[in-house]
Amino acid sequence: MAPATAQGIGDLLREWRNRRHLSQLEVALDSAVSARHLSFVETGRSQPSRELVLHLCEQLEVPLRERNTLLLAAGYAPAYEETALDDESMTPVRSALERLLASHEPFPAAVVNRRWEVLLANGPGLAVMSDGVAPELLAPPVNALRVTLHPDGLAPRIENLAEYSAHLMMRLRREEILSQEPALAELRAEMLSYPGVEDPASAAVEPAELLFVPLRIRRASDGVPLSFFNTISTLGTALDITLSELAVESLFPADESTAAALRDDA
DSSP string, the chain: -PPPPSS-HHHHHHHHHHHTT--HHHHHHHHT--HHHHHHHHHTSSPPPHHHHHHHHHHTT--HHHHHHHHHHTT---------TTSGGGHHHHHHHHHHHHHTTTS-EEEE-TT-BEEEE-HHHHHHHHTT--GGGGSSSPBHHHHHHSTTTTGGGBTTHHHHHHHHHHHHHHHHHHH--HHHHHHHHHHHTSTTPPPGGG-SS-GGGGSS--EEEE-TTT--EEEEEEEEEE-TT--SHHHHT-EEEEEEESSHHHHHHHHHH-
Fold designation for 88-265 = Beta-Lactamase (3.30.450)
Which pLDDT does position 181 carry in this prediction? 86
- End-to-end Cα distance, the chain: 56
Contact assessment for residue 159 and residue 218, using Cβ atoms and an 8 Å cutoff: yes
Which pLDDT does position 4 carry in this prediction? 43
CATH class of this structure's domain 9-73: mainly alpha
Sequence ranges of the domains in the chain = 9-73, 88-265
Per-residue pLDDT 10s for the chain (266 aa) are 344 445 799 999 999 999 999 999 999 999 999 999 999 999 999 999 999 999 999 999 999 999 999 999 999 999 999 999 999 999 999 999 999 999 999 999 999 999 999 999 999 999 999 999 999 999 999 999 999 999 999 999 999 999 999 999 999 998 998 888 899 999 999 999 999 999 887 655 555 555 678 999 999 988 999 999 999 998 877 789 999 999 999 999 999 999 999 999 87
Which pLDDT does position 205 carry in this prediction? 55
What is the value of pTM for the model shown?
0.86
